[in-house]
Amino acid sequence: MTLRRVPRGLRGARMVAKALLSTRHTILAHLVVTRRCNLACAYCNEYDHVSEPVPLELLRRRIDDLSSRGTSLITISGGEPLLHPELEDVVAHIRRRGIIATLITNGYLLTEQRIKKLNGAGLDYLQVSIDYVDPDEASMKSLKVLDSKLVLLSKYAGFGVNVNAVLGSAVENPEDAQVVVRRARELGFPTSLGIIHSGNGQAKPLSQRQQTIYRDIVRGKGPGIFAWLDRFGENLVQGRPNRWKCRAGARYLYVDEYGLVHWCSQQRGYPGVPLEHYSHEDMRRQYFMEKPCASYCTVQCVHRASMIDGWRHRQTSAKVSHSRE
């Protein structure tokens, strides 16, 4: 029996059906396997160059804990997760628990052999983010460097691949996003468009030039399951708040390298409770808690995990003093 015997599409549909039927489980968890990264992008606050990878046995226990909460999907992140020497074992353990396994990477360490190992481990999806056409001091994640990696993925990946382009006030050549998206689509990959945020995950309005490019790219995607996010993005690029019910801490969990649960990567510090002590009552409390950072949030994975509950259960205001400037 292979790890992919049940098709990805069917497992995805099952995830949605399960989320519609009950609010008492986690839909998506981010699991940090190492904080170390091989790059040093100027805008990123999620890496260092010294941390050791989280031991495999600790990661297995955390995956088992997430499985016991009914988690449907685990995204492996970092740092750069491909630096973890036992990454394929982590992926395989997620899949053995019947959970969808996804990976976020900068792509630098992808080789034909590594892609085939990820195939064998049962990886379901991989996302690579490409910031510019040419590398610069702000980011080395450029199409010039990573195009060969995209070609390798197109040839050998047995998992789904998404290419993420970015826009933001720090991006000097926003037309690069159009080039990145065009190349990804030539290779048959779906694309997404992220907005570079401030240090606490908050959006800053885009220039008129960047807004035009944003709309051109979004229109070119066509309708899809996450078209709802395009409306959120349209508000953010114009500096307008979104009104939505963030279910971070419940439907979405961010588990850092120390095993602490946080709202998300950009709001680290709250709740800050070890996963093994994070109770179902804690999850219920967070489910009903209105998050003060939600209006200008750019963290798309939290939006996606929360969107299915947008029509139900009002939230009450949270009084939290942990904001990261």
pTM for this model (two decimals)? 0.91
pLDDT at 221: 63
Q: How far is the C-alpha of 287 from the C-alpha of 24, rounded, in Å?
A: 9
Instruction: Report if residue 134 sits inside a domain.
Output: yes
What one-character DSSP code corresponds to residue 172? S
Question: In which residue are the tokens 């040093």 written?
Answer: 40
268 membership: H or E segment, kind and range: none
Q: Which domain holds residue 310?
A: 8-317
Q: Which residues contact 34 (CB under 8 A, 6 or more apart)?
A: 51, 52, 53, 54, 78, 79, 80, 81, 83, 84, 257
Peptide bond into 79 cis (omega under 30): yes
Q: How far is the C-alpha of 146 from the C-alpha of 286, rounded, in Å?
A: 39
pLDDT at 323: 40
pLDDT at 286: 96
Give the helix, strand, coil percentages of the chain, each rounded to 5.
40, 15, 45
Question: In which residue are the tokens 């950072």 written?
Answer: 293
Which value, in Å, is the radius of gyration of the alpha carbons in the chain?
A: 19
CATH of the domain at 71: 3.20.20.70
| Residue 141 identity (one-letter amino acid) | K
pLDDT at 160: 96
Residues of the chain with pLDDT under 50: 1-2, 222-228, 321-325
Instruction: Report if residue 263 sits inside a domain.
Output: yes
| CA-CA-CA-CA torsion sign (36, 39, 43, 49) | positive
Instruction: Report if residue 323 sits inside a domain.
Output: no
| Residue 93 identity (one-letter amino acid) | H
Q: How far is the C-alpha of 16 from the C-alpha of 10, rounded, in Å?
A: 10
Instruction: Report if residue 325 sits inside a domain.
Output: no
Residues 227, 289 contacting (CB under 8 angstroms): no
Instruction: Report if residue 3 sits inside a domain.
Output: no
How many distinct structural domains can be found in the chain?
A: 1
Instruction: Report if residue 322 sits inside a domain.
Output: no
pLDDT at 255: 98
Instruction: Report if residue 108 sits inside a domain.
Output: yes
Q: How far is the C-alpha of 7 from the C-alpha of 48, rounded, in Å?
A: 37
Instruction: Report if residue 31 sits inside a domain.
Output: yes
pLDDT at 265: 92
